[in-house]
Amino acid sequence: MMDKRDFKGRVYGEISRIAKAISSPRRLEIIDFIANGEKCVEDIALQTGMSFANASQHLQTLKKERLVKARKDGVQAYYSLASKEVYRAWKGLRDLTLALSPHVRESLDQIRISNGYGLAITLDQIKERTDVRLLDVRPKDEYQKGRLPEAISMPLGELEERLGEIPKDKLIIAYCRGMFCTLADEAVKILREKGYKAQKIETSVREYELSLE
């Protein structure tokens, strides 16, 4: 029979192993990135500023601990989160860090100030408003896998050439991959420079979907 010390040692050892797998800043960034949808290794390497080899190594660590899953399409490997619980764990860790770390809060304030919009707006603040246009500035493949209600796809790279589609008599709300993604910050900066009333929302699509459950 297993005594209580063996039981606790085994359980806490397993939890510690999973925590170790996500303790790397790079692996946390990967989890946050692919929460928006399946990505190939090249896209993950480009997003995180890593070499293909380093990205692959981090992905293998996450896969070994069943935090991500992979599929092959020819010679290309695609990765996605293994379950919603992985995203919940990441969100819980993020929220704990926001509560405990003044450095993270200061960094968020600095990026908001540098892009000229102050505090981000929330979904609750705009859900009853009729003078709002919501823009999803992520790549189209991410928009197709999920979006916020009433959002229009306008990837950041297409924004300036599609300004004629955006009404100037509405408040334009941009969003991207969540709190630590800067695509929406860049979109707000462009829009404000062009004379639009623009703001950012920090809620990610995955975070919104979980709030409905």
The residues assigned a catalytic role are 176
**Using N-to-C axis directions, what is the helix angle for 25-34 and 52-64, rounded to 10°?**
80
**Residue 20 and residue 198: Cα distance in Å, rounded?**
40
Q: Between β-strands 76-81 and 39-40, what pairing exists: parallel, antiparallel or unpaired?
A: antiparallel
Q: Between β-strands 76-81 and 68-73, what pairing exists: parallel, antiparallel or unpaired?
A: antiparallel
Three-state helix/strand/coil letters over 108-120: HHHHHHHCCCCCC
